Amino acid sequence: MVAGCGNNILKYILLFLNFVIFVLSLAGVIGSLVFILRPGTLEEASDKISELKDISSLLSPTSIRMGLYVLLAASVLILIISFLGCCGAWKEIRFLLGLYATILLIILAVEVAAFVVVIVYKDKVESELKTGLTKAKATNETAYGDLEKLLKCCGVNDGDPCVPSTGPTVTPKPTVGCYNRILELMKQYYTIVLAVSVITVIIEVFLISFSCCLCSGLGENVA
């Protein structure tokens, strides 16, 4: 058993937080599976949000399905990690707590590294994005035409023509290039992504700290 009132508090805080995360991730798994396995529901959701001016171009059935697969994968991963945290805290198993903290630490390190890379190599990332779009247009016009329809853009740079016969059917056709359109969307949602990232990192730091402290308490008790 964990020794001391402080360690007991840590145990139940860690248990509570992981239980909440477990329930939310389970809801994410169930919800995404419902939409993925029932195409009719996906079509209805796409129709209901088609009137939203700012994001309707990004909420086609295809883009929603891709997002659902990402949500499903992320939810499953979080479900497994939170289950380890719940079991480790409830049963006071040092191995599970250590494994839980290690996985969170790895995820945190990857997130921080990705953030640093994006900041340091911002210009390089933008250059690679333009190169990637150019290659994609040259190698698979059909897929690039779908991208143009999704983002309501034409070509790579502003003023480029749309992909013949597969480009956007709206009149007049967009004059903004897909490269600038993507950059515009990135800037538009930058604040939201940054806020979510900061909150996620703070939660991960707290969970890692609590699990390490609890592991230390268990070690002292065993000794």
Residues 122-145 pLDDT 10s? 778 778 888 888 888 888 888 888
Residue 144 lies in a domain: no
Residue 146 lies in a domain: no
Residue 13 lies in a domain: yes
Q: What's the rounded mean pLDDT across residues 29-37?
A: 84
- Predicted pLDDT at 78: 92
% residues pLDDT > 90 (the chain):
18
- Predicted pLDDT at 48: 56
Q: What's the rounded mean pLDDT across residues 72-97?
A: 90
Give yes or no for residue 63 having a pLDDT over 80: no
Give yes or no for residue 100 having a pLDDT over 90: yes
Give yes or no for residue 172 having a pLDDT over 80: no
CA distance 74 to 79: 8
- Predicted pLDDT at 40: 65
The domain in which residue 56 lies consists of 5-138+213-222
Give yes or no for residue 99 having a pLDDT over 80: yes
User: Please, what sign has the CA dihedral across residues 81, 64, 55, 138?
Assistant: positive
Rounded to a whole number of angstroms, the distance between the first and last alpha carbons of the chain is 12
Q: What's the rounded mean pLDDT across residues 140-164?
A: 82
Residue 116 lies in a domain: yes
Rounded (10°) angle between helices 61-91 and 190-222: 20
Give the DSSP letter of residue 121: T
Which candidate, 221, 206, 216, places its Cα nearest to that of 98? 216
Give yes or no for residue 76 having a pLDDT over 80: yes
Q: What's the rounded mean pLDDT across residues 87-96?
A: 88
Contacts with 18 (C-beta within 8 Å, 6 or more apart), sequence order: 82, 83, 85, 86, 89, 207
- Predicted pLDDT at 6: 64
Residue 167 lies in a domain: no
- Predicted pLDDT at 18: 92
Q: What's the rounded mean pLDDT across residues 95-107?
A: 92
- Predicted pLDDT at 124: 80
Residue 161 lies in a domain: no
- Predicted pLDDT at 103: 94
Residue 33 lies in a domain: yes
Which candidate, 3, 4, 22, places its Cα nearest to that of 207? 22
The structural domain count of the chain equals 1
Residue 133 lies in a domain: yes
- Predicted pLDDT at 32: 84
Q: Chain-wide mean pLDDT for the chain?
A: 79
